[in-house]
Structure 1
């Protein structure tokens, strides 16, 4: 994953605690600053795009066709991770996706 593929606010998951951690800042040297509230061992990983995440991002049954077109899109152009869907949605609408708890 390249830093140029990311945006501030993209969501990742900590490999160890399984907490959701958003990107806070993208540095010119290629480093990524995450909004993480504890110290110790942690590792940010992309969140696989699952049906559960699609629903959390407010794609409901009224968006069924859109949901499955995005979800089943073949690789390498396919959307496999939550941050990729966030970026595509923003590029198409100019709005951020929010999580539906």
Structure 2
């Protein structure tokens, strides 16, 4: 994870104690950018999971629970009531989370901060925790 990928409001993980951190300050020291009070090497991206989608307020379109170990599953779709209804948020167990943009365009999203940044770029507002 590059510090240039982060914005204030992103969620990351403190590698040492595995706490979830909310990015509230990026200290630019010229050749190094500290995240809050953490050295960048002490931070990890958070994998995007179904639990994170549900926490952000997304709901399963099929009502089925996602099983990341089910290789035979085609895909799982989620939507957010207040937002980007023209987009499909799809999980394919073999490829990770895919955002469908239109008919054929797809974007692979693997981490929570990437998802937050994409949402902000598309909607112009922060993706907030619901649960």
- In structure 2, the partner of 1:68 is 90
Residues 30-69 of structure 1 correspond to what in structure 2 (within 5 A)? 30-34=32-36, 43-62=42-61, 64=78, 66-68=88-90
Shift of 1:79: 0.7
Taking CA–CA contacts closer than 8 Å with sequence separation of 6 or more, which of the two structures ends up with the larger relative contact order? 1
More helix by share: 1
- In structure 1, the partner of 2:15 is 15
Q: Alignment RMSD, CA only? A: 2.7
Aligned residues: 93
**Distance in 2 of aligned mates of 1:6 and 1:32:** 11
Alignment deviations for residues 39-96 of structure 1 (CA, whole Å, 9 cap, x no partner): xxx93211001111111111112562623168136xxx52100000000000000010
* Aligned partner of residue 97 in structure 1, secondary structure: coil
Give the TM-score, by structure 2 length: 0.59
- In structure 2, the partner of 1:92 is 122
**Distance in 1 of aligned mates of 2:3 and 2:55:** 25
Note if contact 1:47-1:82 (Cα within 8 Å) is conserved in structure 2. yes
The structure with more radius of gyration: 2
Structure 2, gaps ≥5 residues long: 62-76, 80-87, 100-106
Structure 1, gaps ≥5 residues long: 37-41
Give the TM-score, by structure 1 length: 0.73
